[in-house]
Each structure stands twice: as structure tokens, then as C-alpha cells.
Structure 1
Amino acid sequence: MAGPGTFSDEPLSPAGRLFLHPKTEVVIHCIARAKNPIDIDAAKANVKSSLMASHPRFCSLLVRDENGFEHWRRTRLDVDQHVIVFNNKLDKSGKFMDGSENQGFSIEKDDEMAVNQYVAELSVSSPLSTDKPLWEIHLLMAHKCFVFRIHHALGDGISLMSMLMASCRTASDENALPVMVPDKTGEDKGGKRKGLFWLLAALWGLLKMGWFSFVFVMEFLVRIFLVCDRKTVVSGGDGVELWPRKLATARFLLEDMKEVKKAIPNATINDVLFGVVSSGLSRYLDHRTPNALHEGLRMTGVAMVNLRPNPGFLDVGNSEARWGNRFGVILLPVYYDKAGNNPLKYLKKAKKMVDRKKNSLEAYFSYWIGDLAMTLLGPKYASLLNHKLLCNTTFTISNMIGPLEEITIAGNPISSLKVSTSSLPQAITMHMLSYAGRAEMQILVAKDIVPDPEFLAKCFEDALIEMKMAAIGGQ
């Protein structure tokens, strides 16, 4: 085998190196719950015949040369090392029970709580082994669950979800690949504006982009080095990434979110999500610390933004596909506020802020500054900057479009698809994925700070319901 530094080894990208540093190491978890019992042989055969078994990232070991630089080195993939089978059931603490205790444990809600807690335990205490390519699939046989564990150094959520979807088929056609929710390509945007009006609008757009970019980039830098969110009962901080975790699920219907966004012209699902988060956090803080907070208290979120032109899945079989970690972040402030009789005001505030962010280059700047920091300072100091940003904010959130219709894995229909990541210094991280008309948001919390994530999830669900009622009532 060729040694380090030869043509057979491929250097890691700056983002890949960042996600391998202890301060910023992240593993992506995906829970796919099947409708039927899992066939182990079929699952392994599916992996062996998929693009996963031949994709360079999934068939490469992480190695370091004599200077400490990381490289990918191709190796022979042994699927048996990556597919790990667990036969016993889990209790509510996420621990495996022996066979004598398995009787009578079949209530669906308890079943989901057990799997969630199993993944929460993985989020803190179980790094991926570097003796093999950095991914695993855990088969929880008694719970009919696939748990995919994939290191963030291999790629971001869009890349990894694209790889997973390339290994799946639609439930309605066993030969068809899953498709994402249709984008708006080709929709009539009202025609092209011409002449002086178009020129003035373009100039005004450039001025707004320049101004908002300057303001938000300055805020981004100040947030890293100087300013921290005011401490509340949901605040994390340095070292919190090592604290025990709990994981809960908030469920939404996409039709409800679409109904709400109709209430505000040009609103998007992301606007609705951020409004729901703002309202839900306000509800939760009212529950934990009634009458203790002032109106307008800011809680800053770190939101992930895909920087690829196409928002959907990648064609992972195409060598030109923009694989890897190609995302930026924006700072998303939400404010503690009692809605009173107008729950839609959370959506209005969220839309106003998100529109300004869209008119800026903040997400691109965050990507460029991270790349520059890695190049000039190396992973140690770049990871410290990233860690500092997370310590100075309150939560992380992402939203990803999933398959439009139900899918199958190894011929087994999937009833639920959810994603989360390993723990961060924040006490709350939220990752939402849409799937077949539904959206499920995984809420990972430091359980010593947020002991009741199920109630927090209900706060988010109730916030959307109230917004929907207000939207319907206003029509």
C-alpha cells in the first residue's frame, strides 16, 4: 500500500479537518424507522450494491502523515464492520435490556423515546472508530430502526442525505429513486422588469445587499469575539458539549405550515419554522421562569445555509456533483415575547429578519472566513473560533427538504425519517427534516439544563397550531 503523501492519498478539505478536531467534531445521526421487521441480509446486500460501497469518502480511511496532516486513503470496504446488529429492546434510558425484560414493552411512544435516548447517548460518548471508514449503520432489530452514523468530515447534510436516498427507492415504485419536494424552478415570477424601473430596482438591491452584508458581517465578528447572549435557563457554554443528552421529537404537518405561510405574503416554510421556534422558546421560558424575563430578550441561533445553487439532492453518481461540506451559517436572533392575541407576530418578525439575511452575503462570508482561518491558523485555532461562536449563542437549527413520498430501504417501507447530530456546547440543537408530507424536528438538549425536552417539543407543536388557527381566522 502506498504511504502517506503519495498520489493515492487525498488531503481533507478545510471543513473536513475542522470537523475532526476534538472541539468541533460532529457525527450526523439519521433514524429511519421501518414498518416491517428488518432483514439483515437484505440490508447488507443493499449497502454492498449501493453507491455507498464505491464512493471514495465511504471507502477511505482517515490517516495522518508524519507532519500531522490528515488524508483520505482508499481501502477495501468490509460491510460487516459497518453494519452493527442489536437484537434486544431498549429501555427508556436508551440501554439494552436482556431477553427476560423484553416482554410488554411495545407501546409506540415508549419505543420512540427509547430509540431517541439511545441516539442521545451516542451523541456524547461514542465517537466513530478511525480503524475503518467513518460511518456505521446500527440495526435496532426489536425496534425496526436503522440508525445511520456518518462523520461530518465526509460531507454535510445535503451530501449525506443524497447518498442515503441513492440507496433507497420509492414505496410506490421499487425501481424509482426518491425525489425531493419540487422546487420553484420554472414558476412565473411576474415577468421581467425592463428599462429604468429595472435599473433602479437592481441598484436598490445592490445597495441593500451591501448594507446588510456589512451590518451582519460585523455582527458575526463581534459575536465571535466579544458579545454573548444573556444567560437564561436554556443557555449552554464551554464544556456543555460533554454533558449527558436527551432527545425529543416535535412533529408538524407540512400542510399546516403551508397554511400559516399563506397569512403573510411571500413567506416561506423557513420563515414559519423560525417563527415557531421563537414562539415555542418564549412559551418554554414562561413555563420555566414565569414573569422573570423582559420583553424582547434576544436568543441567538446559528442556522445552517446550503450554498449550492440547487437546494435538492445531489446526483452522487456524477463526478461533477458538489459533494462535501458546502454550507455557511447565519446568526438568527429570536426574541422572548408574549404573543397575546396575535401569534402571527412571531412569523412577521421572523420573515422580516430572514428577508434581510437573504439580502446579505453573511452565509458566504462565514464559509470564506472559516476556510481562511483553517488555511492561515490551522484546525486548532479555527475550531476555537467556531467553538467560541457556539458558546456565545443559544441554539443551532437546520431545516432540510426530504423525500416527497414514502421510501423503502432494502425493500422495507420507512414510516419515519429524522436527523440529528452529536452534541455541541449549546444546550439546544434542532434539526428538522421533511418526509412524505410531514416534518419532524429532533431536539437534542443537555438534560441537566433542559430536563424536559418533550415539553419543549410540545411548545413548538402548540405554537404552530395557534398560528394556523390565527391564519385561518384571518382569511
Structure 2
Amino acid sequence: MGSPFNDTDEPLTPAGRLFLRPELNQIIQCVVGLKNPVDVDAITSEVRNSIMVQHPRFTSLMVRDSRGREHWRKTEIDLKQHLIVIDQPVSTKSNDELAVNDYMADLSTDASGLSTDKPLWEIHLLTAHKCMLFRIHHALGDGVSLMSLLLACCRKVDDPDALPMVVTGSSTKRRKRTWWDWRVLWGILTMVWFNFIYVVEFILRSLWLCDRKTAITGGAGVELWPRKLATARFSLEDMKVVKKTVANGTINDVLFGIISSGISRYLDHRAPNALQDGFRVTGVAMVNLREQRGLQDVSNLMRGNSGTRWGNKFGIVLLPVFYQRSGGSDPLAYLKRAKVMIERKKQSVEAHFSYKIGDFVMSYLGAKLAGMLNYRILSNTTFTISNVLGPQEEIMIGTNPVTFLRVTLSGLPHALTMHMLSYAGKADMQILVAKDIIPDPEFLAKCFEDALLEMKEMAVATTNIEEKKNVTNIQRDT
């Protein structure tokens, strides 16, 4: 029976309604490691006085009217319902990271999810492991919105009165060219062609086109299977060294080069010689579509200023990985291939198309059809990858310094989902797997870590060779 409509109720956005569909019921889990023991009273006070409990999404119930349409309804917050204190170890494993990962993996297959009797978020205080776990329904916002909100609740370690710096990204200036420059014309033709290819593939993926089966393939229903979680750790400095080996390289280029190499390594391990070079598996990547990239000022997000907007504003793109046998190949070849592919994706409208078509279907054809199409895209691909920029300086919650930030997302029919979050010079990637399909995520994490280290070694060696050549040339010229 639907709840009577209230004039003060606010309807959910199409994206918010989509994430409440049973087949796409996704919960974001962000674990925050703390340097000192958890002071429950201090954290309760911090939450009570934070912008989080002033935010309309975090202080509203999700209700449905008599027609089944979802709305946000303002309510009073009872922190006792949202702060869950767990004093005992959550696992028999002595290692805190393994124990917390097991706990998050178990919650990822919790059929009950988050109760609609309260606003769709909660914080678990794992006192035995010195960490906090935020569980937030995806209908409340995307990674950029929620990370920006978390940042607004923290302070700098080296300046306790200051908010952490918000990184909005920067635009790249390009050399002006006249319209008759043949390179511009060729670029336009290339962009039109790839736009056509990518949009057609996106449509086909939502209908019937799917990846061939491999050792990491999931599919419809896999979101309900038991999970395991492992962490791959990267140094941002190492990633920056690697990205310099390609012109205008980015951290995302390096990340996808790592994913390509790591998946090839893992498939070699699971099924040696079973695949031919060039065999394709396809990933789904989330792309922030706000005009300002990176983290945002929460006050601007809540007001919708300067092209920003709270909520879910992202598109998806399909990212192909082409299997290559390990051994003997240039580790940087994965990066170079990733760079070419991602540059083509950036020039396309694929991400904007996916966002607009999803919005249109949700608004005019109904939530059931929109949910089915999105679910089919996920079921017909192999993995999910996302990268959220976190604070680049050390932060603290109250007076307790944060040692790490990690995030994952439950509710996807993929057997492999990867979410990277950077913090203070480090980047941790949570690897959530269906354990009956991928029983050894720790080994997969090592495949990714080793891929970066090999790329770095090759990058340093290449740089040293170039420097020696330059010195030789200078000496010869003089």
C-alpha cells in the first residue's frame, strides 16, 4: 500500500529511482581507517554536528505514493538507528584488513540491504579494528557527491581548523587551429566514426551482445552470490612515473593499463593457453559528467552552482580489455593501448549518450524497462571499474587521523568489480568478487600490483636510456 502524498515531499530523480529497482539495488560501502582507537562518543558528536545530518538526502525517508512513485520525505534523525557500534572483532582473522574485508564482503550479499524505515545510510563503528564503515544507498548520490560530503565532515591534520582542499580539476588548453586544417577535418571524421561505433555497441550490449565466457565471467543473478574482497595497493608516485612515458598521460590511463595487464596475468594463471591473443573482455566504467571534474564544494553541490549538482550525474562507457599472454611483452604496451582507446572514448559522446538515454527511458518509458536495460548491459559485460579522486592531504575525523580510505559497491551482476580511491599519495583498489567464480582475489590483487611495478621498472629504464642518449648527443656536439 502506497504512502499518501505529502505536498512537501520531493520526487526522486530518474537516476535515484533507477538505483531503487530490485535488480539494481546498489549500496556504496566506504571504509575509513583511523590511527587511534575509536572514540564512540566523539564520533557521535562529530556526526551530530556535521553537514551530513543537515543534508536533505540524509534526513529524508524514501516513500512510495499510491501509484508506486518514489519520493523523499523529510524526517527527524535518530542517530542511534544510524550508528552501529560493534565492539567485538568481526572475523576470526587476526589481520585487521582481512577481517574488515570479510565483513564488507558479507554485507555485500546482505539481502535485507538498508531499511527503508530510516534514511538510507548507516555508519558501522568497528572499534576492535579502528575503522568506520559508511553504508550509503546509491540513490542518495554518486561517488563524487558522497566523497565531497565526507571531505566536508573532516579537517586537515596539519591545520585542524581548515577543511581539506577541494580538487575540481582543470581544463586542458589546446592549440587553436583553423577549420580547414586537415588535421581538424580528419579529427572530426574520426570522432563521428567512433561515436557511431560506440553508440551502436552500447545499444547492442543493452539488447543481446555479450562477452564470451572466461574464468572471470559473471552474469544475471551473480549479484546474489557470496562475495570475497581483497585490496590492491598502489603508490600514486609510481603511477605518475609510468604516466610520463606517454604524451599527456593520466592516472586513469595507467589504471586501465594495470587492469589490462592484471586480467591477462590472472587468466593465464587460471586457464593457461586457453585463450588466443587479442581475446576481448569488456568492462563498464563510470564517468563523472559534471562540468567541474574531481571533488566538489558540497555547498555548491547542494545549491547546484557552477555546473555542479548533487546526486547521480555520471555516464557509463564500455572499456575493452584485449588478452595478451604474459611473459616477454613490453609492460608499457598495455598502457599505450589503453591510452589510445581512452582518448577515443573521450572524443565520443558515449558517456553522455548513456546518461541521456537512461534519463529518457526512465522518464518516459518507465522504471521497469530502464532497470532491465541497465541490468542487461551489466550482465552482458565482464567487470566494473571506477576511480574516485580522494583528498591528497592527510585528514582527520574529529581529532583522529585517517590512515586509509577504501570504497566498494555491492549489487552488481559482475563477478569482478574494482573501485580505486586515492588518499594522501596512495591509491587502494577494492576488488570485490563472486567467490565461487574467482576464489582467489588476493592473487588477482597481486597481479595488478605486479603489473604496476613492472611498468614502473620499464619506465625508469626507458627514461635512463633516453637520458644517456641525450648526454651522448650533447658530448658529441661539443
- From 377, 381, 385, the equivalent of 1:397 is 385
The residue correspondences of 1:173-252 to structure 2 (distance < 5 A) are: 173-180=159-166, 183-185=169-171, 189=173, 192-193=175-176, 195=178, 202-252=184-234
Matches within 5 A, 1:124-143: 124-125=109-110, 126-143=112-129
Q: Say if 2:195 and 2:350, in contact at 8 Å, map to a contact too.
A: yes
Shift of 1:411: 1.6
CA distance in 1: counterparts of 2:178 and 2:373, whole angstroms: 46
TM-score (norm 1): 0.93
Give, in angstroms, the shift of residue 170 of structure 1. Answer: 1.1
- 2:408 is the counterpart of 1:420: yes
**5+ long unaligned stretches in structure 1:** 94-104
Residue matched to 2:475? none
Please state how far the C-alpha of 1:92 moved relative to its aligned partner: 4.7
Local SS of the residue matching 1:84: strand
- Structure 2 residue 398 is the aligned partner of structure 1 residue 410: yes
TM-score (norm 2): 0.92
> 1:365 corresponds to which residue?
353
- What's the counterpart of residue 257 of structure 1? 239
| CA distance in 1: counterparts of 2:59 and 2:182, whole angstroms | 53
Residues 51, 317 of structure 1: 8 Å contact kept: no
Deviates more, 1:9-18 or 1:316-325: 316-325
Deviation of 1:258 (Å): 0.6
Using the alignment, how far apart are the partners of 2:81 and 2:391 within structure 1?
Answer: 29
Q: What amino acid sits opposite 1:380 in the alignment? A: K
Q: How far apart in 1 are the matches of 2:177 and 2:251? A: 30
Does 1:155 pair with 2:141?
yes
Question: Partner amino acid for 1:445?
Answer: V
Cα shift at 1:240 = 0.6
Q: Alpha-carbon deviations, 1:125-159, whole Å to 9, x = none? A: 14000000000000000001100000000010101
Q: What is the distance in 1 between the residues matched to 2:451 and 2:197?
A: 31
Equivalent in the alignment of 2:469: none
User: Is the aligned partner of 1:72 residue 2:72?
Assistant: yes
Tell me if the contact between 2:168 and 2:296 (Cα under 8 Å) persists in the aligned partners: no
- Match for residue 115 of structure 1? 100
Contact 2:383 2:416 in 1 (8 A): yes
- Between the aligned partners of 1:59 and 1:395, the Cα distance in structure 2 is 33
Q: Structure 1 residue 89: deviation in Å?
A: 0.7
Cα deviation code 1:419-438 (max 9, x no counterpart)? 00113111000000010000
2:30–2:405: 8 Å Cα contact kept in structure 1?
yes
| Distance (Å, rounded) in 1 between the aligned partners of 2:296 and 2:197 | 33
Counterpart residue type for residue 319 of structure 2 = L
Please, which of 320, 323, 329 is the counterpart of residue 333 of structure 1? 320
Q: How many correspondences in the alignment?
A: 454
Shift of 1:203: 4.3
Pairwise CA distance, 1:79: 1.6
- Distance in 1 (CA, whole Å) between partners of 2:388 and 2:310 is 16
Aligned with 1:432: secondary structure? strand
Which stretch of the first structure deviates more once superposed, 436-445 or 167-176? 167-176
Could you say which residue in structure 1 is the equivalent of 2:419?
431
Distance 1:196 1:395 in 2: 40
What residue in structure 2 maps to residue 37 of structure 1?
A: 37
Q: 1:385-423: per-residue Cα shift (whole Å, max 9, x none)?
A: 111111110000000111011110122101010000113
Counting only pairs closer than 5 Å after superposition, residues 342-361 of structure 1 correspond to structure 2 as 342-361=330-349
CA distance in 1 between counterparts of 2:6 and 2:184 reads 50
- The two structures, once aligned, show a CA RMSD in angstroms of 1.6
Query: Aligned partners of 2:4, 2:317: CA distance in 1, in Å?
Result: 37
Structure 2 residues not aligned, in runs of 5+: 464-478
Q: How far apart are residue 314 of structure 1 and its match?
A: 2.2
Rounded to whole Å, the distance in 1 between the matches of 2:190 and 2:226 is: 44
Match of 1:276 in 2: 258
C-alpha contact (below 8 Å) 1:92/1:117 kept by paired residues: no
Question: Counterparts of 1:193 and 1:391 in 2: how far apart (Å)?
Answer: 43
Distance in 1 between residues matched to 2:75 and 2:184, nearest whole Å: 52
1:168 corresponds in structure 2 to 154
**Contact 1:161–1:313 (Cα < 8 Å) also in 2:** yes
* Residues in 1 aligned to 2:418 and 2:4: alpha-carbon distance in whole angstroms: 38
Deviations 1:272-330 (A, max 9, x none): 10010010001001111011111111010000000001112222223124101000000
Query: Displacement of 1:182 after TM fit?
Result: 7.1
Match of 2:297 in 1: 315
Runs of 4+ residues over 6 Å off in structure 1: none
Report if the CA contact (8 A) 1:180-1:401 is conserved.
no
SS of 1:418 mapped into structure 2: strand
Give the secondary structure class of the aligned counterpart of 2:81. Answer: helix
Percent sequence identity is 60
C-alpha distance in 2, partners of 1:35/1:452? Answer: 29
Corresponding letter in the other structure for 2:120: L
Q: Hey, what's the Cα distance between the residues in 2 that align with 1:295 and 1:469?
A: 24
Q: Is the 8 A contact 1:56 1:74 kept in 2?
A: yes
In structure 1, what is the Cα distance between the partners aligned to 2:127 and 2:343?
45
2-side partners of 1:41 and 1:463: how far apart?
A: 43
Contact kept, 8 Å, 2:166 with 2:297, in 1: the verdict is no
Q: Is the 8 A contact 1:423 1:444 kept in 2?
A: no
Cα distance in 2 for residues equivalent to 1:83 and 1:315? 25
* 1:4 shift after superposition: 3.7
8 Å CA contact 1:208–1:359 kept in 2: the answer is: no
